[in-house]
Amino acid sequence: MNKMVLTILVAAVVAFGQSDNAKQGADKQATHAKVLTRAELDELLAKPGRVLIVDVRRPDEISKVGGFPVYLNVQIDDLQTRLAWIPRDRPIVAVSNHAHRGARAADILSRAGFKIAGAIGAEVYESEGGKLTKVIPPPKP
C-alpha cells in the first residue's frame, strides 16, 4: 500500500513539473520580439531621433526604477487604443521592467504595422551597466 501511494505521489510530481515546463515554454514562445542587450540599445540611442522609445510601464514604475531621457509612455493595457498617437517614422524599442510587457507591446505594434527594433527591460539595462534617468516626483501639496 505505501509503495502504491509513493508511486502515485511521484507520478503527480512528474506530471505537475511537465505541465509547468510546458507553460513556461508557451510563455517564451508567446512573443516574437527581439530582446535587446544594453549594448544594442546604446548603439540605437547613439543616433538621436532615429529610434522611438515606447515605455509601457506605469508612471510609478518609471519613477521608482528610472527610465530613458526621452520616451513615449503608453501603458500596455491602453496600447491598442492609442496606436494612432504613436509616430510611424522610425523603429520602436518597447520598454518595461524586465522586457516581458515590452516584448508583448512590440508584438502588438508589429502586428499594427510599426517597425520594431526590439524590447528591453529597464532594470536589465541598468544591471548591465546602462544609465537610467531617475525621475523625482514633485512633493504633494
Q: Are 96 and 65 in contact (CB under 8 A)?
A: no
The reply to whether 20 and 78 lie within a common domain is: no
The span from the CA of 55 to the CA of 134, in Å, is: 14
Decide if 135 is inside a domain: no
Q: Give me the number of domains the chain comprises.
A: 2
Residue 19 lies in domain:
1-30
The span from the CA of 29 to the CA of 23, in Å, is: 10
Predicted TM-score (pTM) of the model is 0.76
The reply to whether 76 and 93 lie within a common domain is: yes
pLDDT of residue 135: 74
Q: Which three cell numbers stand for residue 10?
A: 511521484
Instruction: Compare 139 and 128 and report the one with higher pLDDT.
Output: 128
- Residue 1 — very low, low, confident or very high, per pLDDT cuts 50/70/90? low
What is the side-by-side strand order in the sheet with 116-121? 72-73, 52-55, 92-96, 116-121
The reply to whether 60 and 107 lie within a common domain is: yes
The reply to whether 42 and 89 lie within a common domain is: yes
Distance, first Cα to last Cα, the chain: 70
Radius of gyration of the chain (CA): 20
The reply to whether 24 and 12 lie within a common domain is: yes
The overall average pLDDT reported for the chain is: 83
Q: Which three cell numbers stand for residue 98?
A: 524586465
Of 24-28, 66-70, 114-118, the least confident:
24-28
